[in-house]
Amino acid sequence: MQIQRIAAFSEGEAGGNPAGVVIGATLPDAGTMQRVAAEVGFSETAFAARSGPSWRVRYFSPGSEVPFCGHATIALGAALARQHGDGVFPLTLNQAEITVEGRSVGGRFQAALQSPPTRSRPADRELTAAALALFGYDEGTLDPRLPPALIHGGADHLALFLRSREALAAMRYGLEAGRELMLRHGLVTILLAHAQTPRLFHSRNAFASGGVMEDPATGAATAALGGYLRDTGWPHGGAIEVIQGEDMGMRSRLLAEIPPDSGGSIRVSGEARFMA
């Protein structure tokens, strides 16, 4: 089994979120995929095998299988482009059919995914209060322009929007307490974000449900964020840029294109670098 290690949403030769990618003739059994993901130790590993005209894909974190992972999909797109040439690759996930486009540009790889359908709804006060307590925030920390919400773009997330970049930089929480909260409410991650401008966001993503304190780049949550901004009528102008991982020393850059159709797919793109 060949395991490729690829950092998605990188900036040149630095940053990005490392993902494992395994491309084989068939998918291993679930137990083997879970074991390999734990051994690789990245927040997710994508396993892919050709299935007719499509590629069957499953994603595993060190602690569990997840329905969709954006940064591992970007890494997979780069791996498929290096193996098969530039193109658009149909992917069959556990719960959705999507595509990823991979291409080589000037010796570097870029990829763009089309997310599953998006949806969002307001978060209830009990969940919001529990999440604020987890991170040591209070309601005054929140940006009143962007109410807390449950957002979805292939996986379920809670989104909390903070008034200041300083509050985002101060993010702290207990891993086990975060895991219990996320599993109890069916959340894959909790997205914390600060809107520097209507089109530039800084974000951090707590991923305790998968046994990981924080992801330096999260394509699935960025897709869900794009859907939420569309749902709320935020003046995004058709696209946003998200800077993530900066407070971890792993600065990552994600671009999300937001078409006007309610509930429609979000295109999330970025660079990918192959790691030694």
Summarize pLDDT for 148-197 with one digit per residue, the tens.
999 999 999 999 999 999 999 999 999 999 999 999 999 999 999 999 99
The answer, yes or no, to whether residue 214 has pLDDT greater than 90, is: yes
> Which fold would CATH assign to domain 4-114?
Diaminopimelate Epimerase; Chain A, domain 1 (3.10.310)
The answer, yes or no, to whether residue 63 has pLDDT greater than 90, is: no
Superfamily assignment of 119-274 in CATH? Answer: Diaminopimelate Epimerase; Chain A, domain 1 (3.10.310.10)
Q: Which of 214, 243, 249, 270 is nearest to 7 (CA)?
A: 270
Q: Which of 242, 136, 259 is nearest to 196 (CA)?
A: 242
- 123 pLDDT band, cuts 50/70/90, is very high
Q: Where in the chain is the domain with CATH 3.10.310.10?
A: 4-114, 119-274
- 97 pLDDT band, cuts 50/70/90, is very high
Q: Which of 5, 226, 29, 20 is nearest to 113 (CA)?
A: 226
- 211 pLDDT band, cuts 50/70/90, is confident
